[in-house]
A and B are shown apart, each in its own frame.
Chain A
Amino acid sequence: MGGGVRAATALAILAKDLRLEVRRVESLGTMAVFGVLVVVIFVFAGDPTPEDLSRLGPGALWVAFLFAGALGFGRWFAAEERNAALQGMLLTPVDRGVLFLGKWAGATTFLLLLELVLVPVALTMYGLDPHGAWLELALLLVVVAVGYAALGTFFAAVAARTTAGELLLPVLLFPLSVPLVLAGAEGGQALFQAGPREGYWDWLGLAVAFDVIFGTVCAIGFEHVIEE
């Protein structure tokens, strides 16, 4: 299979997932509303002052992102298990790594759309201001979304193959996502501070390394998860 065919196959899977979502806007809508709810409910955790909010806000934003993302991932492979859709895909002579790339691209798209809703809400409600560093913030959001989508896609496939299903997904996914959450929260914190952006590039670098390592490992290891 040539590189062009691989790319076309991954794009076809991505297009299929997006088409499904456009036709019944259930996952993304629910994820977004759930994420905003987490952002709101966090404020009830002890009557925070504006200073508290600006200090803890970035962390709360990532908690909301993590939870809402896991909710979406839960459906990510559950839908493929329905009507033996996954078996159908496995019967095609497609490289399993390419299959992963397609699903990964779809999950990344979903997470980016989720951030598009969640981040403005959190910035407004927590009174966070990146002091003009919008590009840096966007970069951080994309890098974290890509890494979380890789792990999420991988573990959604794993969880779909257990009887516990979506219950097991966060248990597997959250501990391994700790570096991403820290990179997002601490890197974000560095941007929202008024002073110099100390540590931002270190955290971004860590998140990029995480993306590269787990994108590769999950793509290579994916066949061991989905094959019968």
Chain B
Amino acid sequence: MRWWPGSWGQFWRTLDGRVYHGLMWARPWIGWLAAGLMIAVFGLVFWWVPLEAIQGWPQKIFYIHVPSAWITYAAFGVVFVSSILYLWQRAPLWDVYARTAAEVGFLFTTLTLATGMMWGKPIWGTYWTWDARLTTTLILWFIYGGYLLLRAYARPDVDVARMAAIVGIVGFLDVPIIHLSVLWWRTLHPQPVVMILDDPGGGLPASMLITLLVSLVAFSLVFAWLWIQRVWQERTAENLALLETLLERRVREESPA
């Protein structure tokens, strides 16, 4: 296979394999880089970045919570794009990408909700409030969960890859509408009586901004690494199943009944 395809048609047809080779090539690099940066993030968070004046220690969860939330949306984006490409090209790898990204995305959505609640208790005085962003994230968690349940319970005679792809697309398209509706719903109501801070991204000091940016990169790499590991596992499992089938056929051919 030449590195650069001859035409656009060929580019799209071979894109799944190219992505796979790229991911497998980058796998060890991303793994080590993610591990190194994650250690750096912990160093920055606990020793370098100054303690926030009002919130104190609980504010540090911000450096885990915000990157997790970003990954939640990025992973859903991978599911969406892979689902479209699967329905278009029908290459099994696109389905593997979508399925594994949803799994890892679900994990990070759970992490976002959990860290948000841990931070909310000391700062807001409550684990949960029906804030627009919280509500959207919770509904996103349910959509991810439903998508994974659907994949788990599809009947064996059904083309699950195809069905899950269209469900992934419908789910993704709904997210901005859900966010808009929840935003309206909250702004038309009186806000709950808790201390709501201004947007933390606004007047962020340089040290906090640097820590956040390093953490964003580190979390992106951790997500990428986990996702690549899952893609590799799924691919290996498929190859193994193929080998077993071939071996069985060979054994049957060589031992006449």
Contacting residues, chain A, for B174 (C-beta < 8 A):
176, 179, 214
Of all chain A residues, the one with the shortest Cβ separation from B158 is A161
- Tell me whether A158 and B184 are in contact (CB under 8 A): no
The answer, among A163, A171, A203, A221, for a CB contact under 8 Å with B146, is A171
**What 1/0 mask marks residues of chain A from 193 to 228 whose CB sits below 8 Å from any chain B CB?**
000001100110010011001100110010011011
Q: Is the CB of B177 within 8 A of A227?
A: no
Which listed residue, B155, B166, B170, B182, touches A182 by the CB 8 Å rule? B182
Residues of B within 8 A of A202 (CB): 184
A210 close to B157 (CB less than 8 A): no
Interface string of A173-199 (1 = CB under 8 A from B): 011101100110010000000000011
How many of chain B's residues have a CB under 8 angstroms from any CB in A?
Answer: 32
Interchain CB contact under 8 A, A175 and B139: yes
Which B residues between 164 and 212 are near A, CB-CB below 8 angstroms?
A: 165-167, 169-171, 173-174, 177-178, 180-182, 184-185, 188
With A210-B177, A224-B87 given, is the CB distance from A158 to B167 under 8 Å? yes
**Pair A199/B159 contact, Cβ less than 8 Å:** no
Which A103-160 residues have a C-beta within 8 angstroms of B?
Answer: 154, 158
Distance to closest chain B CB from A213 (angstroms) = 7
CA distance A180 to B211 in the complex (A): 40
Interfacial chain A residues near B185, Cβ < 8 Å: 182, 186
Total A-B pairs in contact (CB under 8 Å)? Answer: 93
Taking the closest CB of chain B, its distance from the CB of A221, in whole angstroms, is: 4
Closest to A169 in B: B146
Q: What is the interface of chain A mostly: helix, strand, loop, or mixed?
A: helix
Minimum CB distance partner of B135 in chain A: A178
Q: How far is the CB of B67 from chain A (nearest CB, A)?
A: 24
CB-CB under 8 A for A158 and B177, given A163-B155, A175-B143, A199-B188: no
Does B60 sit within 8 A of A, measured CB to CB? no
Q: How large is the interface on A (under 10, 10 to 19, 20 to 34, 35 or more residues)?
A: 20 to 34
Q: Does A63 contact B (CB under 8 A)?
A: no
Min CB distance A202 to B, Å, is: 7
A228 touches B157 (CB 8 A): yes
The residues of A that contact B178 with a CB separation of less than 8 Å are 175-176, 178-179
Are B181's CB and A183's CB within 8 A?
A: yes
- Do B163 and A224 touch (CB < 8 A)? yes
- Which residues from chain A contact B87 at a C-beta distance below 8 Å? 224
A178 to B154, CA, bound (A): 24
**Counting CB contacts under 8 A, is A38 at the interface?**
no
Assess whether B145 is in contact with A171, with CB atoms less than 8 Å apart: yes
Set A161, A171, A221, A228: member contacting B170, Cβ < 8 A? A221
By the criterion CB–CB under 8 Å, are A168 and B163 in contact?
A: no
Known: A224-B87, A224-B162, A225-B166. A158 touches B182 (CB 8 A): no
Say yes or no for A40: interface residue by CB 8 A criterion: no
Chain A min CB distance to B83 (Å):
10
Determine whether B149 belongs to the interface, using a CB cutoff of 8 Å to chain A.
yes
A225 vs B180: C-alpha distance when bound (angstroms): 28
Q: Does A164 contact B (CB under 8 A)?
A: yes
Interface centre among A168, A174, A175, A186 (most CB of B within 10 A): A175
**Least CB separation from B185: chain A residue:** A182
Residues of chain A within 8 A of B11, CB atoms compared: none
Within 107-131 of B, Cβ neighbours of A (below 8 Å) are at none
Residues A172 and B181 in contact in the complex (CB < 8 Å), given A179-B174, A217-B173, A228-B157: no
- Whether B213 sits at the interface, judged by CB under 8 Å, is no
Q: Is A30 an interface residue (CB 8 A)?
A: no
B146 touches A179 (CB 8 A): no
Min CB distance B180 to A, Å, is: 7
Which are the 8 A-B pairs with shortest beta-carbon distances?
Answer: A179-B181, A175-B142, A221-B166, A164-B153, A162-B153, A224-B166, A172-B146, A161-B158
Interchain Cβ contacts under 8 Å between A and B, 10 examples? A158-B150, A161-B163, A162-B155, A168-B149, A175-B143, A178-B178, A182-B181, A182-B184, A183-B181, A228-B158
Q: Mark A residues whose CB is within 8 Å of B.
A: 154, 158, 161-164, 168, 171-172, 174-176, 178-179, 182-183, 186, 198-199, 202-203, 206, 209-210, 213-214, 217-218, 221, 224-225, 227-228
13 other A-B residue contacts (CB within 8 Å) besides A168-B150, A175-B143: A162-B155, A164-B153, A168-B153, A172-B149, A176-B170, A176-B178, A182-B184, A199-B184, A206-B177, A206-B180, A206-B184, A213-B177, A217-B169
